[in-house]
């Protein structure tokens, strides 16, 4: 109990409550009551420790990603400003009781990224306007057709439009770009066409609703874009760049660990384990990538990105990275398999496998640098060439196994030196090495495709050319 209250700090007063209750109830000192008290105490302690953990988690999120905490502050700020409309006489007189719509707009429309906020703003404005106009039109037609038919016409149009619009939300193109707009369309159309039956000043209502929504929307856009903006495009850019680096680290770490530079790796402990598992984030990042690309389309030019930055190309790179991650998943299986390859075989192949994995991860890291700096790499072709050479060498090593039995080198041997002899490696013991080699070769092929995708991105997004120095080198090479 004391420990708990020390831990919880500011929450101490909550913990004192059960103590007081306990001292009161304990007077008759019956066992069942003590049991009840203990049970209650346990419940409360459990509850408090749960809340405590919740706050710890919240705090750790806020520390790790202060942007998210700032987003909370931004929403609070926007809401405080919009509620000023109620307190200030002149503002209130201008907008009237409809200020409610401004508050509602801010709450519903304000999203974490600028792109998502703009998407919702545009959808809300368009949906409201279209539905409002259509609602007025239908209302006018219904009005002309006599009192008897008016509610019937209105009911039928509400039914048909609501059904059609709701269904349209299942169509992928609508879902991706106008999902929120469809909801708002149904909402506004129902409200206008239905309430029009009672409210006489329908035009004034529509006008007021539109203007309050406009106030809410412009407030949201200003707040989200001026104070520490979080751009969806930026997030997508860094997500893909980070994923590229993660794949590079996982690939290299996994191979290096297997081929026995164990001492160095193990000393790093959990950190290195985190690095190896990095590819798992890539396996599951599809949904985030697509959402970000969707929102990024709505964003204006910002930072280094123009308005029509080719966000779709990032998705293509993302898909190819994920394909690499699938292979690394299998690679992890092979390196953790029960069948242990003999040490001398591992030593023989470590050169080729580590060579290939490090040149592959170099290519990936160069891709990450290319995307990060938005500068076309002058080295990438050379690096891909090196990677392909490493593939050839590995294949050569595999081929040479069949022709020329491996001879353990007695020069390097210390303990094993005396056993130096010529013999054929048993097949079963070669299985892991063969699998790892196949997978590394496949990963290299997939990385080459990623390089093409990044080149495509670089061309479409008009990345800068590489440094002059390397250009001069190229020119010299050409002239030679």
The footprint of a second copy on residues 13-72 (CB under 8 A) is 54, 57-58, 61-62, 65, 68-69, 71-72
By CB under 8 A, tell whether 351 contacts a second copy.
Answer: no
By CB under 8 A, tell whether 186 contacts a second copy.
Answer: yes
By CB under 8 A, tell whether 138 contacts a second copy.
Answer: no
Chosen residue from 160, 228, 261, 407 binding a second copy by CB under 8 A: 160
Q: Which stretch binds a second copy (CB under 8 A): 84-92, 116-124, 263-271, 357-365?
A: 84-92
Side-chain-side CA neighbours of residue 429 (13 Å) = 10
Give the residue among 453, 475, 235, 295 at the shortest CA–CA distance from 364. Answer: 453
Site for a second copy in 396-455 (CB under 8 A): 398-399, 401-402, 424, 426-428, 430-432, 434-435, 437-439, 442
Question: For residue 225, with 0-12 CB atoms within 10 Å meaning exposed, 13-18 middle and 19 or more buried, which class applies?
Answer: middle
Token readout for 267 is 């000393």
Token readout for 30 is 């019956």
By CB under 8 A, tell whether 73 contacts a second copy.
Answer: yes
Residue 323 or 379 having the CB closest to a second copy: 323
Question: For residue 396, with 0-12 CB atoms within 10 Å meaning exposed, 13-18 middle and 19 or more buried, which class applies?
Answer: exposed
| Contact in structure between 296 and 386 (CB atoms under 8 Å) | no
Residue 263 or 428 having the CB closest to a second copy: 428
- Minimum separation from the CB atom of position 3 to a second copy (A): 25
- Minimum separation from the CB atom of position 61 to a second copy (A): 6
Backbone φ and ψ for 407, nearest 5 degrees, come out as -105, 125
CB neighbours of 267 closer than 8 A, spacing ≥ 6?
none
The contact pattern for a second copy, residues 275-294, with x = CB under 8 A and - = no contact, is --------xx-xx-------
- Minimum separation from the CB atom of position 261 to a second copy (A): 24
Site for a second copy in 85-124 (CB under 8 A): 86-87, 92, 97, 100, 103-104, 107-108, 110
Chosen residue from 173, 418, 421, 478 binding a second copy by CB under 8 A: 173
Helix axes 343-373, 232-258, angle to 10 degrees: 170
Chosen residue from 80, 144, 266, 472 binding a second copy by CB under 8 A: 80
Give the residue among 237, 244, 326 at the shortest CA–CA distance from 280. Answer: 326
- Give the Å distances, CA to CA, from 75 to 58, 92, 232, 296: 17, 21, 17, 20
Residue 5 or 150 having the CB closest to a second copy: 150
């Amino acid at each position: 109990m004391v420990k708990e209250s020390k831990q919880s700090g500011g929450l101490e007063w909550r913990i004192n409550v059960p103590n007081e209750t306990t001292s009161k109830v304990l007077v008759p000192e019956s066992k069942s009551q003590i049991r009840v008290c203990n049970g209650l105490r346990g419940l409360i302690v459990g509850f408090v420790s749960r809340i405590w953990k919740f706050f710890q988690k919240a705090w750790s999120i806020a520390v790790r990603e202060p942007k998210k905490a700032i987003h909370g502050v931004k929403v609070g700020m926007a809401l405080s400003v919009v509620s000023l409309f109620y307190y200030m006489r002149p503002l209130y007189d201008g907008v009237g009781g409809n200020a409610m719509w401004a508050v509602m707009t801010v709450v519903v429309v304000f999203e974490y990224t600028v792109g998502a906020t703009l998407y919702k703003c545009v959808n809300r404005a368009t949906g409201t306007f279209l539905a409002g106009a259509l609602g007025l039109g239908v209302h006018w037609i219904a009005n002309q057709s006599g009192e008897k038919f008016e509610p019937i016409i209105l009911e039928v149009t509400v039914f048909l439009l609501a059904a059609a619009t709701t269904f349209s939300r299942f169509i992928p193109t609508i879902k991706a770009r106008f999902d929120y707009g469809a909801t708002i369309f149904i909402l506004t159309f129902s409200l206008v066409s239905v309430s029009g039956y009672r409210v006489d000043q329908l035009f004034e209502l529509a006008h007021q609703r539109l203007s309050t929504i406009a106030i809410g929307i412009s407030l949201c856009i200003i707040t989200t874009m001026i104070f520490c903006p979080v751009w969806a495009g930026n997030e997508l850019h860094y997500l893909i760049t980070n994923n590229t680096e993660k794949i590079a680290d996982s690939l290299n770490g996994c191979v290096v660990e297997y081929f026995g530079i164990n001492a160095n790796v193990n000393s790093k402990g959990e950190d290195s384990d985190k690095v190896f598992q990095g590819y798992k984030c890539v396996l599951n990042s599809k949904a985030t990538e697509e959402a970000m690309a969707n929102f990024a389309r709505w964003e204006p030019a910002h930072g280094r990105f123009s308005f029509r930055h080719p966000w779709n190309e990032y998705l293509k790179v993302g898909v190819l990275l994920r394909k690499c991650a699938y292979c690394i998943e299998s690679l992890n299986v092979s390196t953790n398999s029960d069948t242990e390859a003999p040490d001398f075989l591992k030593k023989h192949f470590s050169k080729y496998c580590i060579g290939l994995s490090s040149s592959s991860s170099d290519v990936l890291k160069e891709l990450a640098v290319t995307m990060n700096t938005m500068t076309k790499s002058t080295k990438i072709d050379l690096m891909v060439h090196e990677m392909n050479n490493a593939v050839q060498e590995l294949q050569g090593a595999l081929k040479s196994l069949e022709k020329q039995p491996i001879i353990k080198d007695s020069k390097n041997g210390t303990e094993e030196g005396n056993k130096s002899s010529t013999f054929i490696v048993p097949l079963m013991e070669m299985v892991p090495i063969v699998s790892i080699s196949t997978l590394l070769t496949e990963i290299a092929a997939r990385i080459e495709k990623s390089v093409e995708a990044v080149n495509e991105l670089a061309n479409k997004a008009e990345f800068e050319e590489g440094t002059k120095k390397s250009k001069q080198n190229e020119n010299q090479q050409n002239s030679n």
